[in-house]
Structure 1
Amino acid sequence: MAVNGPDRVLIVDDHSLVRDGLRSIFDDAFPSCTILEADSLEAALNTLEQEGDVDLVLLDLNIPDVSHLSGLEALRDRFPATPVVMVSGVTDRKVVRDALAAGAAGFVPKSLKRAAILDALNQVLSGEIYMPELEGDDSAAAEEDAIRSRIDSLTPQQRVVLGHLVAGRLNKQIAYELDVSMTTVKAHVSAILQKMNVFSRTQAVIMAGKIGFKG
């Protein structure tokens, strides 16, 4: 899968060997990408505050200063437009589904081979949600559950606007239909993209289409 490479990525893991391994994947696939590193959630938050936006955060599920998904939740709260991919040796189905429902852009097991990890990251960079294949699990159903959870996080007005996006209407048409300003529509669209963890209207429409959302 060919996608535009990321400009900057933050790797958050308390094990230097894991960070080195993930860094080498980016060095090989995206040699111009700048890699930032942090060994704790606190360091990660400080790095993002100081360095500004990044295209992707790779976050270990188990680092010393987080509990369960608290690290993901903190990053999603402070930097809602930044996709966060969980990277973990844990592949429990409930943990994976909980992470995706909480807004993770993907869940990558550390046991995957390099090529599979790169494919997973490419899927996320192209706006998809990456869900690993787990024994006895229905990945498609889990992805749909995650999408529904994200759409459920929208306000009623945002859901209405998303319905108009799905119908293919432009901002000026939505503004006319809802009798609101273009500025208001743009604000709603921006919030929708952030909450759905996508970067374009097209990606939001595709995601909504996967569960048959019409508004």
Structure 2
Amino acid sequence: MTGASELTILLVEDQGLVRAGMRELIRIAQPDARIDEAADYDEAVAKLQQQSYQLAFIDVDLKSSKTGLDLLKYLREAQLDTRAIMLSGRSDRPLVLECINAGACGYIPKDISSDGVFQRALDTVFQGGIFIPVTAMARDGVPAPAAPPVPSVTAAELGVSGRCLEVLYHLCQGLPNKTIASRMQVEEGTIRKDYVPKLFRIFQVTRRTELLVEVARRGVIIPPLPLPAQHHGDT
């Protein structure tokens, strides 16, 4: 994830020592990023209401009345342009898929012990890819890989381009069809009946959650959308 503007990251983790360690790992991957921290749901929401963040790393198991999943749902309901990456000591498939289905675009187990794997997970996210543990990558007729792939396949190489690529980008942000249609200034039916089925055919899936899992399984890089052109008056 590169660009002239400063990368803004919100790290939400209730354990101070764990949060400090993750902050350093993120700093290694993105030395120039602005990293803000929150220890619980309320603190995170307060920061999100004051500042726009491109990425949020959220602990699923926040020790408070509201969990990381609650915060994820807040992000999606508020339609914030923040990619949510969930963090957890657990990596069971139902939990991973629940997070993806709720609008996360990545899931990094905190108990990864292999050297460099956590850093590779961060690199995947910062390259615009989706990282999920291999425990969630298997699907009917398609076995899980031995290890998460390094992002190396562009969406264009798979035949995804133009407005279809825009839709894929928004789907990977966890946005619903109605919001995607509003941002692309088209009818919701166009998203639901045209673009989404086309993406399902390309990736050979039948549901959104399967689509994101397949993006992760194939190591597909989803480029960020270009910033809208600035208009300085009528011509």
Tell me if TM exceeds 0.5: yes
> How far off is 1:80 after superposition?
3.4
> How far off is 1:95 after superposition?
0.4
Number of positions where the alignment pairs a residue of Structure 1 with one of Structure 2 = 161
The residue that corresponds to 1:80 in the other structure is: 80
Q: Map of 1:191-206 to 2, 5 A cutoff?
A: 199-200=224-225
Task: Please identify which structure carries the higher helix content.
Answer: 1
> How far off is 1:162 after superposition?
2.9
Report if the CA contact (8 A) 1:12-1:60 is conserved.
yes
Q: In structure 2, how many angstroms separate the alpha carbons of the residues matched to 1:39 and 1:68?
A: 11
> How far off is 1:128 after superposition?
2.2
Which residue identity is paired with 1:4? T
The residue that corresponds to 1:107 in the other structure is: 107
Helix, strand or coil at the partner of 2:134: coil
Q: In structure 2, how many angstroms separate the alpha carbons of the residues matched to 1:27 and 1:165?
A: 38
Q: TM-score scaled by structure 1?
A: 0.63
Consecutive unaligned residues in structure 2, runs of 5 or more: 145-167, 178-187, 200-221, 227-235
Structure 1 residue 162 corresponds to structure 2 residue 195: yes
Report Cα offsets for 1:23-69 as digits up to 9, x if no partner. Answer: 11122222211110000111111111112x11210000011132472
Helix, strand or coil at the partner of 1:134: helix
Indicate how the Cα distance of structure 1 residues 115 and 4 shifts in structure 2: closer, same or farther if over 3 A, else same: farther
Which residue identity is paired with 2:12? V
> How far off is 1:153 after superposition?
3.9
Which residue identity is paired with 1:71? L
Moved more, 95-104 or 155-164: 155-164
> How far off is 1:109 after superposition?
0.4
Q: In structure 2, how many angstroms separate the alpha carbons of the residues matched to 1:31 and 1:65?
A: 33
> How far off is 1:99 after superposition?
0.7
Which residue identity is paired with 1:117? F
Which residue identity is paired with 2:107? F
Indicate how the Cα distance of structure 1 residues 153 and 75 shifts in structure 2: closer, same or farther if over 3 A, else same: closer
> How far off is 1:125 after superposition?
2.7
The residue that corresponds to 2:90 in the other structure is: 90
The residue that corresponds to 1:44 in the other structure is: 44
Structure 1 residue 19 corresponds to structure 2 residue 22: no
Q: In structure 2, how many angstroms separate the alpha carbons of the residues matched to 1:31 and 1:44?
A: 22
> How far off is 1:152 after superposition?
10
The residue that corresponds to 1:33 in the other structure is: 33
The residue that corresponds to 1:121 in the other structure is: 122
Report if the CA contact (8 A) 2:29-2:122 is conserved.
no
> How far off is 1:98 after superposition?
0.9
